[in-house]
Amino acid sequence: MSQISILQGGGSPVPDTETLTGDIGGAVGCDAAFNINLLTGDGLTSTGNPLTSTITFTLDGLTQATATTIGAVTADIITINLGAVPTTYIIEAKIAGFEPTTPAGIGYNLICVARTTGAAASLVNTQDKYVSESVALAPCDANFTAVGNTIVVRLLGTAGLTVRWKASTIQMGV
C-alpha cells in the first residue's frame, strides 16, 4: 500500500506533503526545492497533471479494448499501427469472452512476431495460441492478422450467442 505523509502547521492553511511511501522501500522526503521525483523504469511512463493534482502511471505499449459479437460474426477488437519505420515487433494479446445466457466463458493468449517495411505489415511466422473455453463457445476464435500497415486482433463469435469480449495487447519493437 502506498502512503503519503502530510505535516500541517507553520501558519499555512494548505497542508504540505513531507514524504511519499511506496509499496517497497522507506519513506522518501523532499529535496531542497521541495520536490519528490517519481522515476520510472524501462517500459513504464509517469505523466503529471498539475491541474488535477494527479500522476498517472502507464505501461508502454499496452492497449485495452472491449467488443461484443452477436452471432458468428467477426470483430476487430484492437488495431496496432506499426508506424513508418521498418521494425520487428513481438506482440502478446490476452482475451477474455463471456456469454451470460449459457453461461459460458473463453480465454485466449496469443503471441506473434510481426514486422513492417514502414508501409506494409506481415506476420513473421505462425502465431502461438493458448485457448481455454466452455463447450458452448468452442466455435469462437481469435487471431492476429496483418491489414495494411497494422496488426489486428480479430475475434469470431458463435452462432446464436452474444459474447462480450475484453482484450489487452502489449508490444515491443526493435
pLDDT tens digits for the chain (174 residues)? 455 555 555 555 555 777 777 767 777 888 888 788 787 878 888 888 778 777 888 888 889 999 999 999 999 999 999 999 999 999 999 999 999 999 999 999 999 999 999 999 999 999 999 999 999 999 999 999 999 999 999 999 999 999 999 999 999 999
Cβ-based burial of 129 (10 A; exposed 0-12, middle 13-18, buried ≥19): middle
Q: In this structure, what DSSP letter does residue 59 have?
A: E
**To 10 degrees, the CA torsion angle through 14, 15, 20, 22?**
-100
What pLDDT, on the 0 to 100 scale, is given for residue 119? Answer: 97
Cβ-based burial of 95 (10 A; exposed 0-12, middle 13-18, buried ≥19): buried
Amino acid found at 58 = T
Q: How many CB atoms lie within 10 A of CB 40?
A: 13
Q: In this structure, what DSSP letter does residue 68 have?
A: E
- Cell digits for 128? 502461438
Contact 146, 57 (CB under 8 A): no
Q: In residues, how long is the chain? A: 174
Compute the distance between CA of residue 79 and CA of residue 20 in angstroms, rounded to an integer: 38
Grouping H, G, I as helix, E, B as strand and the rest as coil, residue 126 is: coil
Contact 27, 21 (CB under 8 A): yes
What pLDDT, on the 0 to 100 scale, is given for residue 13? Answer: 52
- Cell digits for 133? 473455453
CATH annotation of 62-173: 2.60.40.1680
Where are the chain's structural domains? 3-59, 62-173
What pLDDT, on the 0 to 100 scale, is given for residue 49? Answer: 79
